[in-house]
Amino acid sequence: MAEVSELDPVQSPSGARWELYRLLADPVRLSLLALVEEEELAVGELADILREGQPKVSRHAAQLRDAGIVTARKQGSWVLLTLAPEATKDAVVLDALSVGRGIAQRDGLLERARAVVRSRDEKSREFFSRSARPSKGSLLPREAAVCLAGLGPLLSRHRLAVDAGTGDGLLLEMLAPLYDEVLAVDRSPERLSLARARVARQSLNNVSFEVGELESGSVQEAVARRAKAGADIVIASRVLHHAAIPKRSVASLAALLRPGGTLLVIDYAPHEEAMLSAEEADVWMGFSHEELVDFAECAGLQGAQVREFAPNGLTEGPDSHVPWTLLSATRPLASDQQRGSTS
């Protein structure tokens, strides 16, 4: 249980303690606190959930932010709010949260919030179901497959690779020669049909397919059927910026790894290309190094490293001016976890 102290309370701008009580006496603010404790939410999303006008919710949020109880960050046109970590050290805030949870439960606000979060990626789902078109050409020159096959045995483990969010299967051409088996996963049947066609054209006989959400048990079961301990490597290329809750998606990806397995997440660095939301149904405008490391650590991974790549011809599409990042992290071995639990 978190230690609660009155010695270092959350301060209102004037420092007067009674102002904190006054601030937390409003039922809408109490509900808002309970909601942002549960999930990081945008002001517009909170307005929908609370069924209040957005200007009113913005004023409530500003007061809570000025008091240091919630924090805010910009993501394109969104202002996302979450409970400040230090806020729960204050007994008054903890009591307010308890009351707010009760109100949110009574009024069905938590279920509304979950529905709002689920709807974040509806535009992405629509986009990928109606715009399933193959990438141009092949990722590799013809002789590369033979070279990669020669490199495969040099990997410490090369039993199973998972291409999560495979799309039209471009990365499968690189993974198939390196690993004994490759599992291609995508939630869009339309995109997966393109990957199947690519695999057939390239005669990649060690690739299998699974339609499903990363968070679903069916994907974990598909991995376990092929390698009981989990995958040696899981790659998610340009998947995270379409996820409703990126942190949860990283945790789901990490759960597919064997102990000692590696997660690679390729995605965008923070950018201002707002047209990607309209043209490519992006939910998020990239991720900072700190966010990606936090996602990995919260998923129980270790050794998280992030590298950034300049947009020097990485793509030819609307994201051609966006820098990319590569997150790599490893699932701890059982011995590492035991040492961590006893230290």
Q: How far apart, in whole angstroms, are the C-alpha atoms of residue 107 and residue 309?
A: 47
| Other beta carbons within 10 Å of 146 | 9
Position 146 scores a pLDDT of 72
Instruction: Please give the CATH number for the structural domain made up of 127-342.
Output: 3.40.50.150
Report the chain's mean pLDDT, rounded to a whole number.
86
Does residue 149 or residue 237 have the better pLDDT? 237
Give the DSSP H or E segment for 31. Answer: helix 27-38
pLDDT digits (tens, 9 = 90+) for 265-305: 999 999 988 888 878 788 999 999 999 999 999 999 999 99
- Asked if the domains 17-119 and 127-342 are classified in one and the same CATH topology, the answer is no
Q: Is domain 17-119 in CATH 1.10.10.10, yes or no?
A: yes
Sheet with 231-237, edge to edge strand ranges: 207-211, 181-186, 160-164, 231-237, 257-268, 324-330, 302-309
Position 335 scores a pLDDT of 62
Share of the chain above pLDDT 90, in %: 62
Domains of the chain, by residue range, sit at 17-119, 127-342
**pLDDT band for position 59 (cuts 50, 70, 90):** very high
Alpha helices in 70-157 (DSSP H): 91-106, 109-119, 122-130, 144-151
Specify the pTM: 0.80
Position 128 scores a pLDDT of 67
- Tell me: pLDDT of 51 over 50: yes
- The winner for highest mean pLDDT among 117-126, 185-194, 331-340 is 185-194
- Tell me: pLDDT of 38 over 50: yes
